[in-house]
Copies of this chain bind each other. A is one copy, B any other.
Amino acid sequence: MKNILDKNQNKADEVRNLVLSKKVLMVNIISSPGAGKTTLLERTCERLASELRIGVIEGDITTDRDARRLQKYNIPIVVINTGGGCHLDSYSISRVLDSFDLDNLDMLFIENVGNLVCPSHFDLGESFKLAVVSTSEGDDKPAKYPMLFKEAKAVILNKTDLLPYTNFNIESFRKDFRKINPQVPLFEVSCTKGDGLEEWFKWISSQNLKPILTSSLLK
């Protein structure tokens, strides 16, 4: 295992150097299956694809269903099917980077395989990890799966529209999460209803590494 992680780390450093030299922000999105990663990308592309040049790497065990949901935004998308594998690794990312015109890209989102555990252990060369968790999964996820919540540079709590219909205790969630990670931004949103997303759009735009020529978001 140590050997696998060491090799992955070397390749991740290589990927990070390349992507940073091109001033591309690379975001590794990690969540349980069905927490709303693809819907977050749909909303983000809808709002930002006209001002930021966005690309997506879709990691899935099988099928290109998520990629097809994003096709309507006319952005470059590459699918990586892991064929049973439970996470992406830096080698798989390195192999597909050639498919993107990095000089003409601002942000590259990686939608990792739906899994709250294994993807946290693998550096892909990303600028940072983004954790997505949904209210319907229960408020105990930060306590029970701490590694991702510790590593993430931002956390999205999705499906706030379902709060009235679940026993999710948002105070308990915030408290457990802040014990693990007191600093990073937490966005409480509903990607299907649109609630709370403006703050996320502003924040992710402000992370851009290239100068934005025209942006309504940073005004």
Contact = CB atoms under 8 A, between A and B. Distances in A.
A114 B63 contact: no
B61 A141 contact: no
Interface residues of A, number: 36
A9 interface: no
Nearest to A118: B86
B136 A33 contact: no
Nearest to A35: B137
A159 B136 contact: yes
Interface in A105-129: 113-118, 121
Given A144-B114, A145-B61, A165-B162, A34 B33 contact: no
A48 interface: no
A34 B137 contact: yes
B86 A117 contact: yes
Contacts of A115: 86, 115-118
A138 interface: yes
A217 interface: no
Given A144-B60, A145-B61, A116 B165 contact: no
Given A62-B146, A117-B118, A141 B86 contact: no
A134 interface: yes
Question: Most chain-B CB neighbours within 10 Å: which of A61, A117, A118, A165?
Answer: A117
Given A32-B32, A34-B137, A136-B134, A144 B84 contact: no
A141 B34 contact: yes
